Amino acid sequence: MRRLVVVSNRVADLTKSSQSGGLAVGLADSLRQRGGVWLGWDGKTADTSENLEPVSKQIGDVTQIVLPLTRQDYEEYYLGFSNSVLWPLFHYRLDLVDYKTVYLDGYRRVNARFADALMSSLREDDLIWIHDYHLLPLAAELRQRGCKQRIGFFLHIPLPPPEILSAVPRHRWLVESLLQFDVIGLQSQTDLNNLQHYVEQHLSSTMTGDGRFQWGDREVIAGVFPIGIDVDAFVEMAERPNDEVLIETRRREILGRRQVIGVDRLDYSKGLPDRLRAFARLLELYPEMRKSVALMQIATPTREEVEAYVEIRTELEALSGAINGRFADFNWTPVHYIHGTVPRDALAALFRSSQVGFVTPLRDGMNLVAKEYIAAQSMDNPGVLVLSKFAGAAEDLREALIVNPYDVDDMARNLCRALTMPLDERQDRQRALMERIRKRDNASWLNNFLATLEHSKSPPPLD
């Protein structure tokens, strides 16, 4: 078995038995089993450019290589080009793109440092797997340094269509850098179509039906590899008693109340303001729902140094306060807004005890919260998933109630439908959804991608 080399913006903590987040959940345990290297940033910044040599640590059969960043690197590569240019661009938010040449310079500089740090650790038959938008030029940097190994790339966020992608300066350089990978993995068929259209319109190349196309003297394979979760592990976590959640669940049962739950990073791509407006609209359109249902929205802090994230936090706090001020009674609060982090085991229990999972991003690569909500449900009395049609997960999770996250009335109507759905219909939908998330779990994602990378196989077809 060929050694696996993983590169990502952040390294996972391989000393922990479990991880949070799609990338870590999908890779950490498999890398420990296979052995190899994981290179990335440790999240810390240095004041000066001195002593920035990579630091290696052996953890079982895995070599962890940590690459320090300076404060300048952090501001230009991470906050700048990665999260003020690529993140809004790839989530179709051109109005939030803040392009500066110095950001691009920092992005290229840090990717070059990643390449320098990796080259000395490579073996001739390694498989290299690079992750996400922070490292789009890394294969090109490695090729310039003589790297001959097969290199794969997986994009965890959406890929926009050519008319959006081409709005940013140096867009052709970005895509030509992407084409230095041997295998390009995307979350959805929409993303693959967008790549195909860009290649045809801007690079005059043609992709075959199995995702192959020629770029220079190299063959590139692009395919859809929907990321999944460890279903059995999440089921077990959801079934484990949690005293605090159990007490609150019993209280709601006594009062005859139900709970709608949303769990997201605090990000403008998640559609949180309109989600709260949709819940308020539910209470307007269906007065019988008042005092009988509450929304719990958990918003995990992220990128708080970016102005757009400060603004959305302020908006959500004002919205939740306004809804509660309008509808609340002395013994019923319609919106429970939590700006903080909830432990993963508590989240699983909260999913299981909530009658509706409300997952309505404006644009998302996949959205594993949707799959975790499904995994947490009891077949005896399952909840209902209300899911945005612009989440990558919607291509597969067709038995969810699919909504338009820009249409507040549509979301409100489907919330009502979910809350009043008969048991037999809920069970039928849950049975089909569980089958889908088991078929495309994290092991399937990992194995399918590595098989394509190692053996140049065509990506497995989606059905």
What does pTM read for this prediction? 0.94
pLDDT at 21 over 70: no
Q: What is d(CA 92, CA 165) in angstroms, rounded to the nearest whole number?
A: 9
Asked if residue 47 has pLDDT above 90, the reply is no
User: If you average pLDDT over every residue of the chain, what do you get?
Assistant: 93
Residues annotated as catalytic (active site), given as ranges: 156, 364
pLDDT at 311 over 50: yes
Examine the pLDDT at 346 and tell me if it is beyond 90. Answer: yes
Mean predicted confidence (pLDDT) in 397-401: 98
What pLDDT is recorded for position 459?
A: 83
pLDDT at residue 22 is higher than 50? no
Tokens at 390, concatenated:
């612009």
pLDDT band at 25; cut points 50, 70, 90 = low
At residue 33 the predicted structure's pLDDT band, cuts being 50, 70 and 90, is: confident
For residue 16, what pLDDT is reported? 63
pLDDT in tens, 209-267: 888 988 888 899 999 999 999 999 999 999 998 999 999 999 999 999 999 999 999 99
Region 117-130 average pLDDT = 94
Using a pLDDT cut of 90, give the percent of the chain over it. Answer: 82
Determine the average pLDDT of the residues in 116-123: 94
Higher-confidence residue of 107 and 48: namely 107
Question: What confidence tier does 107 reach under pLDDT thresholds 50, 70, 90?
Answer: very high
Give the pLDDT confidence score for residue 153 in this predicted structure.
98
Say what the pLDDT of residue 26 is: 59
Three-state DSSP string of the chain:
CCCEEEEEEECCCCCCCCCCCHHHHHHHHHHHHHCEEEEEECCCEECCCCCCCCEEEEECCEEEEECCEEHHHHHHHHHHHHHHHHHHHHCCCHHHCCCCHHHHHHHHHHHHHHHHHHHCCCCCCCEEEEECHHHCCHHHHHHHCCCCCEEEEECCCCCCCHHHHCCCCCHHHHHHHHCCCCEEEECCHHHHHHHHHHHHHHCCCCCCCCCEEEECCEEEEEEECCCCCCHHHHHHHHHCCCHHHHHHHHHHHHHCCEEEEEEEECCHHHCHHHHHHHHHHHHHHCHHHCCCEEEEEEEECCCCCCHHHHHHHHHHHHHHHHHHHHHCECCECCEEEEECCCCHHHHHHHHHHCCEEEECCCCECCCHHHHHHHHHCCCCCCCEEEEECCEHHHHCCCCCEEECCCCHHHHHHHHHHHHCCCHHHHHHHHHHHHHHHHHCCHHHHHHHHHHHHHHCCCCCCCC
